[in-house]
Amino acid sequence: MRVVIADDNSGIRRFLKRYLERRDHDCVEAESVAALVRACALQCPDLVISDVSMGDGDGIETCLKLLRGYPGLSVIIMTGDGENAARADDAGFEEVLAKPIDFGRLDSALKRVLAKRSDERI
Q: Outline where 1-122 has alpha helix (H).
A: 10-21, 33-43, 59-69, 82-91, 103-121
pLDDT band for position 105 (cuts 50, 70, 90): very high
Compute how many other C-beta atoms are within 10 angstroms of the C-beta atom of residue 117: 14
Round the average pLDDT of the chain to a whole number and report it. Answer: 94
Give the C-alpha separation, 102 to 79, whole Å. 12
- The whole model's pTM is what? 0.94
Quick one: which of 30, 22, 67 has its CA closest to 46? 67
- Is 97 within 8 Å of 105 (Cβ atoms)? yes
pLDDT value for 57: 95
Secondary-structure class of domain 2-121 per CATH: alpha beta
Task: With a cut of 90, say whether residue 116 has pLDDT above it.
Answer: no
pLDDT value for 119: 76
